[in-house]
């Protein structure tokens, strides 16, 4: 039996991501998820005006700045108990959905499917098809995704001025109303994208696609017409299943969703836990039951992170982020380990769909479990749902054009106190917790989706979700482990959001 | 054929996301029409990361010509000058960029972080970061003031947070096509930094007649009270629209001056600093006494439609 440590650096993720894997023969026996960048956002926030969070925190992440902005404004509104008008909720939802569609298309067809063009698959029957569709700059789907992901964020530019990085959601609403020009422009953008999605990504009408309710129906649909199995989704499904991604990458069985998109009908009053269009919850992987979600049950551990140690876990309102760089210890990361009810959880489109009760994803999950293919498939399934929800949102807006888009808060400044904002970003649950003292930010804690998924071990030594999804895997070529790429990219890593990890340059081995 | 290597340092990936949104020219056009070959781009390269090592070795050993090096992100020099807050394969990216810079025909800073330090350099600058050839406004960053690339230019700063999509692709197209690139005093290409954000803002009439908004969500000018830096910021946001559709100021969001070396300001970002009723920072080049006189005259001359804010921006 040979034991070795391999180090894998990954691209086509947002940010820098490394893994150290302990291999016995060709089986992964231990894994350490290592991002490699420290930026210090929590420190930069301290002492600033609370509303500065609306400018600074979107810069945490280039691909999900709208979600960061939304979380920040909800946290400020929570702290000030500030209500917003229904149209502001609709415009915020519309922009967040546009960003999510952009992210899902780019993740699927720029980041994930490029792996199918790996030389390892040269002799496979699907290889020529994979190149024709997914090869960067040459494949038809790759080029289509570049083009169309570019267009969808034009909707954000109409309402927010630009994408990425604008600050158009402010306490009390949004900065610009939905006028009829914006509505018609947005519908044109949406229709154009929907046509491409129908022709290229699913090979059928959106309605037909959304009507598929069960695993049987889906697999029957796949083989029903050439247009279906030759669509980008069909191809992604066939290739994934041919290389066995339906058997890999399960990770933790526990799932968390904050729910997505505030329901505008409840916008008139401030509520702490929002009514949402897609439900929040915690899927207990041991019982299979979806429990009510409560943010008070979130804690973060630092046992394996380079922060000043504290025992067990702390809720973000008590969160401590004091750097304590110890490269030559058993600590290996700047990333804290978030836990819910003290359990290791995963978050993202698969968790969102299961907790919301999406029938097709639930049926596939019951058939095969939460594997890497299903995680990726759930993301594309979501795109279809969002295209439909965006259209509905635009119609709601056009029925109510004269309604206000901003209810200026009673006081100019956000009062001292605390608040949190929870949203569903493209990669899963994103939370901001802030405290304000003497008119300035005294604590700001951000827990990103990737923090949940990429978390290191916690105080009890339990591996994070990605780490556990790799342990036990067989790797054909440890020098070029493309399998790891599939699994990890199926989670759509966004390391710029999360990671406070340093690579010591030394390979740590955790056993003698 | 023009070879291009794109590295991310202390970044959020926003400039990559921004350039993917460029449409005139698009990234695909740079490849198809301008002969740019992406040796490496973190979000676009299909090859495994090992390929980057191969490329880096070939460049550093002079086996591969590097025409354009693009850097996205602040240069982290901490902790304690080691640069290890942002490592690559056990060494600092800071030292890697320094080596690669010597090989590059042109070195382009994509975004305010790479140009001047950007948001990560805001107090207390926890990572001790700076820009490639500037440290905020101070000349000299990772590279000294008199540094020049192989083709004789200082670091070309396409600042912005993120940089404007088409400012990035047009600059790359100009370099690939051998067109001259004139730079301003902050080493930004004049083609994109000789225009105020104020020029082309759809709220300028409110500004002209001194009709001020005091709350967000309105139609008026945000310069006087709401922190807008449009009249003091150089950028093409209102002459070449973002995503082909808009700009911050058109959407009622103040310009935060994100192309400037001192972005983000320490002061409340949604309030204008004032002395009495007059902003501390007047429109570029305007004398305070003249401005006071002009302001009261302008307000007197304002037509009803502007005074009553009936005009849509």
Other Cβ atoms within 10 Å of A35 Cβ, number: 28
Per-residue burial over A313-329, b = 16 or more CB atoms within 10 Å of its CB, e = otherwise: bbebbebebebebeeee
Using the predicted structure, report yes or no on whether residue A106 has a pLDDT greater than 70. Answer: yes
Kindly list the residues from chain A whose CB atom is less than 8 angstroms away from the CB atom of residue B270: 49, 51-52, 54, 170
**Mean pLDDT (chain B, rounded):** 96
pTM equals 0.96
Using the predicted structure, report yes or no on whether residue B106 has a pLDDT greater than 80. Answer: yes
Question: Average of pLDDT values for A52-61?
Answer: 96
**pLDDT computed for residue A495 by the predictor:** 59
For residue range A84-95, what is the model confidence (pLDDT) as tens digits? 999 999 999 999
Question: Average of pLDDT values for A29-48?
Answer: 86
Using the predicted structure, report yes or no on whether residue A1 has a pLDDT greater than 70. Answer: no
Strands, sheet with A27-35, edge to edge from the N-terminal-most edge strand: A3-10, A17-24, A27-35
φ/ψ of B128, rounded to 5, equals 50, 55
Nearest-by-Cβ selection for A55 from B84, B90, B256: B256
| Residues contacting residue A325 through CB under 8 Å, at least 6 positions apart | A306, A502, B79
**pLDDT computed for residue A459 by the predictor:** 96
Q: How far is B152 from chain A (nearest CA, A)?
A: 31
For residue range B129-156, what is the model confidence (pLDDT) as tens digits? 999 999 999 999 999 999 999 999 999 9
For residue range A276-328, what is the model confidence (pLDDT) as tens digits? 999 999 999 999 999 999 999 999 999 998 888 999 999 999 998 887 777 78
| A/B interface, count of CB pairs below 8 Å | 230
For residue range A425-439, what is the model confidence (pLDDT) as tens digits? 999 999 999 999 999
Mutate to test the interface with A, among B217, B228, B233, B272 (most CBs of A within 10 A): B217
Mutate to test the interface with A, among B7, B20, B40 (most CBs of A within 10 A): B20
- pLDDT band at B205; cut points 50, 70, 90: very high
Nearest-by-Cβ selection for A37 from B46, B86, B89: B86
Other Cβ atoms within 10 Å of A505 Cβ, number: 13
For residue range A353-406, what is the model confidence (pLDDT) as tens digits? 999 999 999 999 999 999 999 999 999 999 999 999 999 999 999 998 999 999
For residue range B14-50, what is the model confidence (pLDDT) as tens digits? 999 999 999 999 999 999 999 999 999 998 888 877 7
Does the distance separating the beta carbons of B215 and A408 come in below 8 Å? yes
Selected residue with higher pLDDT from A119 and B175: B175
Selected residue with higher pLDDT from A469 and A498: A469
Using the predicted structure, report yes or no on whether residue B201 has a pLDDT greater than 90. Answer: yes
Using the predicted structure, report yes or no on whether residue A510 has a pLDDT greater than 50. Answer: no
Q: How far is B289 from chain A (nearest CA, A)?
A: 30
Q: What percent of chain B is predicted at pLDDT more than 70?
A: 100
Tell me whether A15 touches chain B (CB under 8 Å). yes
């Amino acid at each position: 039996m040979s034991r070795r440590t391999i180090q894998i650096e990954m691209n086509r993720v947002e940010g820098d991501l490394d893994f150290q894997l302990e291999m016995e023969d060709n089986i992964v026996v231990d894994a350490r998820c290592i991002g490699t960048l420290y930026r210090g956002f929590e420190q930069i926030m301290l002492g600033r005006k609370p509303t500065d969070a609306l400018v600074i925190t979107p810069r945490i992440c280039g691909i999900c700045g709208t979600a960061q902005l939304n979380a920040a404004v909800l946290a400020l509104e929570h702290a000030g108990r500030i209500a917003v008008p229904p149209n502001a909720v609709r415009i915020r939802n519309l922009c967040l959905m546009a960003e999510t569609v952009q992210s899902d298309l780019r993740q699927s067809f720029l980041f994930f499917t490029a792996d199918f063009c790996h030389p390892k698959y040269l002799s496979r029957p699907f290889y020529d098809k994979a190149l024709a569709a997914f090869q960067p700059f040459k494949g038809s789907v790759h080029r289509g995704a570049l083009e169309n992901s570019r267009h969808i964020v034009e909707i954000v530019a109409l309402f927010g001025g630009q994408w990425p990085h604008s600050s158009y959601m402010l306490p009390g609403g949004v900065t610009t109303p939905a006028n009829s020009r914006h509505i018609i422009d947005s519908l044109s953008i949406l229709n154009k994208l929907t046509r491409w999605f129908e022709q290229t990504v699913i090979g059928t009408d959106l309605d037909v696609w959304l009507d598929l309710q069960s695993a049987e129906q889906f697999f029957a649909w796949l083989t029903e017409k050439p247009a279906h199995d030759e669509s980008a989704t069909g191809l992604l499904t066939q290739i994934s299943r041919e290389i066995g991604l339906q058997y890999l990458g399960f990770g933790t069985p526990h799932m968390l969703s904050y729910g997505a998109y505030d329901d505008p009908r409840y916008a008139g009053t401030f509520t702490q836990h929002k009514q949402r269009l897609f439900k929040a919850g915690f899927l207990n992987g041991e019982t299979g039951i979806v429990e009510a979600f409560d943010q008070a049950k979130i804690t973060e551990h630092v046992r394996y992170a380079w922060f000043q140690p504290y025992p067990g876990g702390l809720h973000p309102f008590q969160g401590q982020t004091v750097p304590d760089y110890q490269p030559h210890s058993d600590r290996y990361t700047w990333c804290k380990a978030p836990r819910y009810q003290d359990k290791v959880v995963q978050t993202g489109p698969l968790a969102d769909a299961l907790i919301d009760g999406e029938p097709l994803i639930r049926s596939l999950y019951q058939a095969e479990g939460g594997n890497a293919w299903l995680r990726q498939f759930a993301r594309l399934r979501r795109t279809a749902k969002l295209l439909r929800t965006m259209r509905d949102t635009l119609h709601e807006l056009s029925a109510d054009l004269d309604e206000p888009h901003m209810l200026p808060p009673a006081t100019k400044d956000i009062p001292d106190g605390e608040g949190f904002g929870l949203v569903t970003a493209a990669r899963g649950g994103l939370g901001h917790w802030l405290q304000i003292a003497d008119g300035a930010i005294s604590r700001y804690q951000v827990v990103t989706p990737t923090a949940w998924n990429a978390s290191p071990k916690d105080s009890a030594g339990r591996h994070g979700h990605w780490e556990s999804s790799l342990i036990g895997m067989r790797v054909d070529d440890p020098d070029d482990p493309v399998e790891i790429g599939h699994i990890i990219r199926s989670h759509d890593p966004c390391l710029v959001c999360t990671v406070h990890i340093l690579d010591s340059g030394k390979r740590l081995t955790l056993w003698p | 054929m023009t070879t291009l290597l794109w590295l991310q340092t202390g970044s959020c990936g926003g400039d990559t996301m921004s350039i993917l949104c460029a449409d005139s020219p698009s990234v695909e056009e740079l490849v198809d029409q301008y002969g740019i070959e992406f040796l490496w781009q973190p979000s676009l390269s299909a090859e495994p990361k090992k390929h980057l090592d191969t490329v880096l070795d070939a460049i550093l050993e002079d086996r591969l010509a590097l025409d354009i090096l693009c850097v996205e992100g602040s240069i982290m020099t901490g902790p304690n000058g080691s640069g290890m807050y942002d490592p690559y394969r056990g060494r600092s990216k800071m030292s890697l960029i320094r080596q690669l810079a010597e090989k590059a025909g042109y070195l382009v800073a994509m975004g305010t972080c790479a140009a001047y330090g950007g948001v990560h350099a805001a107090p207390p600058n926890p990572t001790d970061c700076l820009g490639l050839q500037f440290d905020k406004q101070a000349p000299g960053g990772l590279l000294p003031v008199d540094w020049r690339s192989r083709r004789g230019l200082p670091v070309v700063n396409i600042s912005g947070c993120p940089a404007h999509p088409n400012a990035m692709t047009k600059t790359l197209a100009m370099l690939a096509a051998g067109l001259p690139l004139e730079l301003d005093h902050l080493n930004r290409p004049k083609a994109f930094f000789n225009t105020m954000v104020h020029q082309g803002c759809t709220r300028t009439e409110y500004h002209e007649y001194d009709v001020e908004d005091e709350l967000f969500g309105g139609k008026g000018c945000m310069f006087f009270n709401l922190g807008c830096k449009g009249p003091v910021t150089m950028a093409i946001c209102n002459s070449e629209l973002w995503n082909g559709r808009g700009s911050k100021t058109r959407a009622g969001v103040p310009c935060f001056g994100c192309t400037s070396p001192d972005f983000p300001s320490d002061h409340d970002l949604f309030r204008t600093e004032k002395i009495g009723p007059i902003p501390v920072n007047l429109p570029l080049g305007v004398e305070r006494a003249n401005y006071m006189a002009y302001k009261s005259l302008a307000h007197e001359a304002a037509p009803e439609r502007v005074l009553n804010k009936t005009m849509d921006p």
